[in-house]
Amino acid sequence: MSTHSPNEVRRQVWHSLVSMLQVYAHAASLNGRAVAVTSTEFGAVVRYEDASLTITFAALTGHATWRSLRPGREERGSFEIDEHGALNFPSGPKELDAAAIDWMDHLAQPEPVKS
């Protein structure tokens, strides 16, 4: 039985998360929403219209940050990928697909109406 180091587990989960983002971006594009995902070994950018989401990841610590930008609006957050592969957000753990869906939904939210 082979065992994987915590860094390798975190790296595999990271790649799976990016793959999930790409799958959901592709599905959104089939429904008429042009969503693009670009990625590097430790980062990903998702773009939809004038919104973007940037996620960075450090395999050694499992720490990840995200930043969402829209005209006049910026949001930031963080999460951890632990040594067992779980995604832990400040609000609690999330499954990979739930995190990817939440981010896609977040990008597609209309701008708040300013009064």
The Cα–Cα gap between 103 and 18 comes to 12
Q: What are the residues facing 64 on neighbouring strands?
A: 57, 79
The domain ranges of the chain are 6-108
Residue 52 predicted with pLDDT over 60: yes
pLDDT at position 94 is: 94
pLDDT at position 115 is: 46
Residue 2 predicted with pLDDT over 70: no
Burial 65-92 (b: 16+ CB within 10 A, else e): ebebebeeeeeeeebbbeeebbbeeeee
Please give the mean pLDDT across all residues of the chain.
Answer: 88
pLDDT-above-90 percentage for the chain: 57
Q: What is the pLDDT of residues 73-110, one digit of tens each?
A: 899 999 999 988 899 999 999 999 999 999 888 887 76
pLDDT at position 16 is: 95
